[in-house]
Each structure stands twice: as C-alpha cells, then as structure tokens.
Structure 1
C-alpha cells in the first residue's frame, strides 16, 4: 500500500491522509539538533579554564538551546502526526546525552575541577571526590527520571494538583539541566574559585537530582495552546519573554530555572500543610 493512502474511516468520519515517509524525518531533525547541542556543550566544557571562561558560558548556552530543540521535536511530531516508537527512543537517548552527560560534566569542570591547589589542599581533594560522586548522581537521577517517564501510564504525583490539569511527576531532566546551565551562564562562565562556594554548588546539584527522581508535581504547561481562547495575548506574552531573554539572558534564565525548581518544592510543602490542616479539622473533633 502506498504511504499516502488515506486511512480507513471510523463511524463515518472523514479519512485522514497518512503522512509520507519523509515527514517522519522532520521531528528527528530537531532531536539531532538536541544531540548536536549536547555534543557541542561537552566539547566546550572540557576546554574551559580560569583564563578563558567563555568556553563554560558557551556550553551552558548550548544546553539552553537544546531545551528549545527538545520541546520542538515533540510538538512537530504531534502536529504532523508522525510520532513513532523510533522517535521516542531517539529522543530519550538524546536527553541522556544532552541533559545528563553534558550538564554533569559541565557542573564538575566549572564548580570543582578548577579549585586552586594552594588554598585548603586537603579540603580541595575531598571536594573533588565529592564533586565526581554528586555529578554522577545527577546523571543517574536524570536517566532514571527518563526511564520512569517512558514506562509510566498516566502517572500521578504524590501531591496532586487541580483536577483536569496535567503535571509532571518529578522535575523533567531538561529543567534539571537548565538549572545547572542557568547558574553558570549567570556568572558568564567564570568558574568557582572558592571551596565554600563549591559546597553550595554540591548542594544545588544534589537537590536538583533528588527533585528529578521525586514523585512531586511540577507544572507541565501542556494547557498552553496557541489555539486557545486568547491566542493573541499568548503571542504577545511569548514575544515579550523572548525579548527579555535576548536583552537580559543571565537574569531571565536563572529566574526561570530556579523559579521552576522552587515551584515544585513550594507545591509539595503547601500540599503537606493543607493535608495536616484537613486532618486537624476532620469531622467529629470539637472545634472552638
């Protein structure tokens, strides 16, 4: 049967023409762009130094562009009806490289590897070993997050949100990589030179990894659509955000990344507080 033969109609519906075989390549091109950005980030990260921190900054920006490619490949596949098992597997492998390997290597090179040898040498040695371990934890947490996402059917977060709204269970790995990249870009790639700041960096990496494998809810944004009731207002907001990103990328990216991270933590704490409040005011208890 030819690829463009219309599919059989069901219940009298108008048959839809199947996409041509060449259309299935289109979303994979965006996935390939995702992989290319991750590979570029790795090559830049290993060249970074105190004398030339621009390599770290370019690596961080490459991961940021990869987040854009990662969002586009899924959108293109759904809108062109070219989703496939091959595309899903390729996308997962791309995410492991670009949002797992690349940011974990960048986090280590930027935050630990370039600590001065003359300042607290014993402390530096211990931080280096901890840095290797924690960056690996970030990588394995991201891979586990992807594996859980691939096998889950209608997953529900431990702290459910509003009925009818869709949420991610755990922080998505692109958002986790975005946290790492946004912090590095905020400092224009200038590496950490203080062991005490490296300890804070350790905490941020470890916390981000935990949020990826947690069962806490994170906003998915899937309800946003240009075909909604107010498409013009949405376009204006997107153009405004894009303009601010171009003019103040350091501040905008770190605010968006850390804001998204904190939103999941706040949602979990708010749910825990409301549940305790409901349990304390259950019927049958005397209220004053």
Structure 2
C-alpha cells in the first residue's frame, strides 16, 4: 500500500536560484532602499507627533510621501520590480499613511475628544489598510481597459494622509481651530471614507512617461517653482495643494464617467456593426 522509502535519502529537488550564484544585483536593492527610507520617515513623523513637534512631523510625512512616489518609478526605470518590493512597499505605506497621520491628528487635536477622537483615528487607520489591500488586489487584474490606469478607485493612501493634515496647515497659516475640534473629527472621518469609496480620482501614473520636446523646459520650471514654494512656504503650498486636490475629485469623477460612457457607446456601436455584418453574410433561410 505504501511504497518503501529511505529516510536518509533526500529526494527533494534543488531550489532554482533566481540570480546566478545566489547574488542579488544592486539595482534590485535600490527601490527597496527608498522604501525603507520612507518607512523611517514615517516612524520619525510618529515620534515628532508624540513630542508635539508638528512642523517636523508634517515634514517627515511629506518626505515619506515623496519617497513613496519615486520608489515605484525607480523600480520600473531599473527594471527591478519584485514581489518582495511590492509587499514591502504596501507594509511601509500602511505605517506611513495609515498609522502616522492618525497619531499626528490624535495628538494634535482629537485627544481633546477622548474616546471619540481615538475611534475616529482608528477608523481612518482601518480604512487606509482596506484601501491598500484593495489596491494590491487590483494589481493582479489584467482585464481592465488601458484608459482606467489613469484613475484610482478612491483616494490613494498617500494623498489621503497629506490632505488629512489640512487643519494643521491652516493653523500654521494663522487660522486657529481650538473650538472646531468636532469639525476636525468629521473631516478625519470624511477623508477615511473617501479612501475606501468607489469615487474615481486621477492617478497621475501616466504623467511624465511621454512629454513633448517643447514642453520639457516648462515642466522643469514648474517643478522647480513647486519645490521652491514647498521649501519656502510649506504650509501654504500644502494647504493650497490639498484644497486643489479635493476640488479636483468631482472633476475626475465626472471625467471618468464621461469616458466610460463614451467607451460603452463605442462598444455598442462596434457590436451592432458586427451583428449587421454577420446578418449580411448569412445565407437566407427558406421554408422547407
């Protein structure tokens, strides 16, 4: 019934090595180094929030978002994408844009509401985790049209973290909110719901892949101006950017549904044309 076997004999097949001689190329490590630097920045933002050093906490979080935006592009540029890097990036994103912003907001204002404030930041962190999990699942889908790659489903976690801190930017600009803590709680819950919603938002993934030659210099000038404004007037730049992003959410949703409707009409037209052509070439049927 059971075939004989030798317990001292190892019949296991040797595991195939991904890289020659078990060595990992340096180009594969570079994107993961950016991810780990972003994780360190997110953890530093948590420490700064505990110490009530709000400017440094915001700066560390923005730096983490910047590193998150370039690590994937670096991986694609170096052709160093890996499953390990994708998992590491997702775990780092949860700490940077799920846990760190929640700790910052709770220590900044929501701790005045005691348990209600803590529940609000818990909901935000849970929604960030759900948003990242849904994003990871969507990466495995290959049946989506190409035009949908220009949109996210819901607000991405990095953008959600940046716009969540809008009340802190407003306070730095002179708008004190000591009596508006309940509004900060409602705003936190609204951002959390936007992350897990089905509202389409511009992804920006395709920006920069192809730029006309005459547009290269203006793009460099705009990027330089943005960096200069961010370094010189960080609160004002982040506040204006957050308001513009929130204002563009209805625009992106309208554009998404407009393109979707257009594609549906094109598909119906092609199906109708194919059906008419099929009916034209079919031989007529005669009664027997």
TM range (shorter): 0.7 to 0.9
Task: Establish whether residue 28 from structure 1 lines up as the match of residue 32 from structure 2.
Answer: yes
**8 Å CA contact 1:37, 1:63 repeated in 2:** yes
Match of 2:71 in 1: 73
Whole-angstrom CA distance in 1 between matches of 2:68 and 2:152: 16
* 1:149 counterpart (122, 127, 135): 135
1:221-260 CA distance string (max 9 Å, x none): 1221164112222112111211222222111111112321
Larger radius of gyration: 2
TM-score by length of 1: 0.74
Partner of 1:233: 218
**Aligned residue number for residue 152 of structure 2:** 168
Check whether the contact 2:167–2:184 (CA below 8 A) recurs between aligned residues. no
Shift, 1:146, TM fit:
0.3
Report the CA distance between 1:61 and its aligned residue: 1.3
The 3-state SS of whatever aligns with 1:187 is helix
- Deviation, 1:111, is 1.1
Matched, 1:188 2:192: no
What are the Cα deviations for residues 166-224 of structure 1, in whole angstroms up to 9, with x where unaligned?
Answer: 11111000001101234324423999773x41111011111100110011111111221
How many equivalent pairs are there? 239
The CA RMSD measured in Å over matched residues stands at 3.1
Deviation at 1:36, TM superposition (A): 0.5
Match of 2:190 among 162, 186, 207: 207
Further displaced range: 102-111 or 241-250 = 241-250
Which structure has greater helix proportion? 2
Structure 2 Cα separation of the partners of residues 2 and 87 of structure 1 = 15
Partner of residue 286, structure 1: none
Asked whether the equivalents of residues 110 and 185 of structure 2 are also in contact (C-alpha less than 8 Å), the reply is no
Cα shift at 1:273: 11
Query: Which of structures 1 and 2 has the larger relative contact order (alpha carbons within 8 angstroms, sep 6+)?
Result: 1
After superposing the two structures, state which structure 1 stretch, 258-267 or 184-193, moved more: 184-193
Q: Which residue of 2 is the match for residue 14 of structure 1?
A: none
Partner of 2:122: 136
8 Å CA contact retained: 2:171, 2:177: no
In 2, Cα distance between the equivalents of 1:272 and 1:95? Answer: 29
TM-score, normalisation: structure 2: 0.74
